[in-house]
């Protein structure tokens, strides 16, 4: 069974019962040796991250449906929630897969551009400070020459 199918069934069961023990429901759907049963916790965490359900106890074994979850059950369930594009991305896969970071390259390029512009700004500041100082000292030397010529 796919993750989306299980979450659709779980959300419908939550809508019917309001509160549900996740592992009891998973044992009714799967055998305990399957990989699906092992993934039940992470799949339920996905419902909580999507704000369609909340945990009802500290051990995170019971789920309650939220008003947002009820809204999406009425609209068509978890699959329509995904189709509407409200799905929150699972960032744990992005940390494992270095290729799955399309925005990181853009961020690195922007950081490099900012650093280069900051370097140019600092260089310009010091250059104008040196040129201004040279102009000041040349004007002082000019005043000195003028004062020497009057004597």
Structure tokens of 29?
């759907």
Answer for the pair 4, 78: CB distance below 8 angstroms, yes or no.
yes
Helices (H), 1-150: 3-17, 22-29, 35-38, 40-49, 67-75, 78-83, 91-96, 102-150
Q: Residue 14 corresponds to which tokens in the numbers above? A: 């939550």
Domain boundary assignment for the chain: 3-98, 101-151
pLDDT value of position 91:
54
| Architecture of the 3-98 domain | Orthogonal Bundle (1.10)
pLDDT of residue 22 exceeding 80: yes
Q: What is the pLDDT of residues 46-99, one digit of tens each?
A: 888 888 899 988 888 889 999 998 898 898 888 888 888 766 555 555 454 455
Least trusted range by pLDDT, from 35-39, 93-97, 111-115, 127-131: 93-97
- 116/85 Cα distance (integer angstroms): 38
């Amino acid at each position: 069974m796919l993750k989306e199918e299980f979450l659709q069934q779980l959300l419908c069961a939550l809508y019917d019962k309001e509160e549900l023990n996740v592992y009891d429901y998973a044992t009714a759907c799967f055998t305990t040796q399957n990989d699906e049963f092992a993934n039940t916790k992470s799949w339920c965490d996905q419902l909580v991250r999507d704000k369609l359900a909340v945990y009802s106890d500290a051990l995170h074994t019971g789920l309650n449906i939220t008003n947002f979850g009820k809204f999406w059950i009425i609209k068509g369930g978890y699959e329509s929630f995904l189709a509407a594009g409200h799905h929150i991305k699972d960032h744990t896969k992005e940390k494992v897969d270095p290729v799955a970071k399309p925005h990181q390259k853009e961020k690195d390029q922007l950081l490099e551009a900012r650093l280069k512009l900051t370097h140019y700004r600092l260089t310009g500041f010091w250059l104008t400070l040196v040129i201004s100082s040279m102009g000041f000292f040349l004007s002082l030397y000019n005043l000195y020459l003028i004062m020497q010529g009057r004597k």
